[in-house]
Structure 1
């Protein structure tokens, strides 16, 4: 808990200010093809009135895309998706990727994230998916398959709002910096040496800008994460570690977050380019099974 000398106010870690949801909040338009309920001022909204397993009209898809860009993660309740319809919905937004490391479900594009007493949850770290790739994913569609009686929520953070919240002197310091992203920091840790070397040849380290510009909205955002970002190019080791720690810590501020409580039939669709997420691992030893389809993206600029 923050403390201060008697009579002196405590300085908040996130200063009070108007949080921007988009580049120009004055231009927002209502949604006419479905109902939308925000979860926070900048990130997260629940969509009602859309059946993701049914054919979707172009007008509905256009509004869903606009909602995704505005709210960064969309939530849907009481959906009836299987592996095929799950993948079909993801295809509206691009080509589904086949993850190089995670276990698959009924289709190679469907990742199965299963945890129980023998395999505890490990996604309880703020991260952006597959940032170790030259062209990280555009986004992901995640559905609940089996849930604990309580717990297992997922949080998302708006990394553009987090960038806006940095002091001006820090934003100036970040201009032009690039960082190395590497799968060895996570997936590579448990690989035998020979397999690690084989995968290293297939997935060498990549450099991405520390501050990425969203390709569709133009928002600037923090693009480093604790799972895959190794170091900042050109900085001494200690300075790199200090700056990365500062930037990676921004996702943990509740002012930039929304939280989703899963239920049977729930689906989340998020923009991986502008968000980080954290799966709360508070349900051990109960089982939690999720399935995810991830959509191929482009090279960060």
Structure 2
């Protein structure tokens, strides 16, 4: 992969080379270890699996909780079709994984700590992003429950950012391994918040700095940790150079080999690792409605 900056152009020239890519679910990526308490159906090479044979509305045993955690770390986004959860049960499932974080930018759902997407006519999730990276301690994960599906469209895509990092050119990795970048809520939310509310929230959520390459605290994977929704600049770098490099890094989520795409049915629940992935909600279903509720699980400071 090569980057060149032509100062006569408004965007950098970026080459994403074709050919075989390194695709590992986990460090070492050894033989599959079976799951005993539910059925796992892989949907992608490194991420995405449907889980059947369990009811998320029933509190899990310690053994089931441990297997679900192992599946989350291995597959990064888990899909549970055919669930019949209330907002309160969805919240309870989220609490199994840690404290919940609230997001004052989003509409409230039918229970405390639950937010709702689809109450308004605007689509704003159709950009690659990881949730709440503008916080000092971004969300560890999210649990999304599909309430109403449109007659067509409305899929969600996820991208494996450890694979994105693994496949960067060695010269690019050398430039970013010790770099840090600014994350700011304004680019992600200015599109749909009025000026007064945006000003108030800027005081509450000032810009923060995170590593460009994050180490996953449980798997140890090196993970590309910048996104076009919230990352604005690489600290200490010339603005033009920073912009060119960020555009190259943002483009890695677009590689199909790093992605999984899911077609929703009502009642399906998705649980994903926000430390490992970016996601994109496809906005191709208007004028129909797509309604979902989400809880976010509080995380730790990236390192």
- TM-score interval (norm. to shorter): over 0.9
Contact in 1 for aligned 2:233/2:243 (Cα 8 Å): yes
Q: Which runs of 5+ in 2 are unaligned?
A: 1-14
Q: Distance in 2 between matches of 1:136 and 1:98?
A: 11
Shift of 1:163: 0.4
CA contact (8 A) 1:120 1:285 kept: no
Provide closer, same or farther for how the CA distance between residues 300 and 88 of structure 1 changes in structure 2, counting only shifts above 3 A.
same
Q: Tell whether the 8 Å contact from 1:36 to 1:46 is kept in structure 2 after alignment.
A: yes
Question: Aligned equivalents of 2:66 and 2:32: distance in 1?
Answer: 14
Which residue of the partner structure matches residue 5 of structure 2?
none
Equivalent of residue 172 in structure 1, options 171, 174, 186: 174
Counterpart-to-counterpart distance in 2, 1:191 and 1:57: 42
| Aligned residue in 1 for 2:62 | 58
The answer to whether residue 113 in structure 2 is matched with residue 109 in structure 1 is yes
TM-score where L is the length of structure 1: 0.93
**Long gaps (5+) in structure 1:** 1-10
User: Do the aligned partners of residues 207 and 273 (structure 1) sit closer, same or farther apart at CA in structure 2, a change above 3 Å counting?
Assistant: same
Query: So what's the TM-score if we normalise by structure 2?
Result: 0.92
Q: Distance in 2 between matches of 1:238 and 1:185?
A: 18
52, 57, 70: which one pairs with 1:48? 52
> How many residues of Structure 1 are paired with residues of Structure 2 in the alignment?
289
CA RMSD of aligned residues (A): 1.4
1:141 maps to which residue? 143
Distance 1:69 1:14, change over 3 A: farther
Give the drift of 1:233. 0.4
Aligned to 1:155: 157
Instruction: Give the Å deviation of 1:105.
Output: 1.0
Structure 2 CA distance for aligned equivalents of residues 288 and 74 of structure 1: 20
Equivalence map 1:1-301=2 (5 Å): 13-26=17-30, 28-114=32-118, 119-301=121-303
Q: Distance in 2 between matches of 1:41 and 1:193?
A: 43
**1:71 Cα deviation (Å)?**
0.5
> How far off is 1:262 after superposition?
0.2
Task: Determine helix, strand or coil for the equivalent of 2:108.
Answer: coil
Query: Quick one: structure 1 residues 45 and 190, their matched pair in 2 at CA, closer, same or farther if it must change by over 3 Å?
Result: closer
Instruction: Please state how far the C-alpha of 1:24 moved relative to its aligned partner.
Output: 1.9
CA distance in 1, matches of 2:191, 2:78: 32
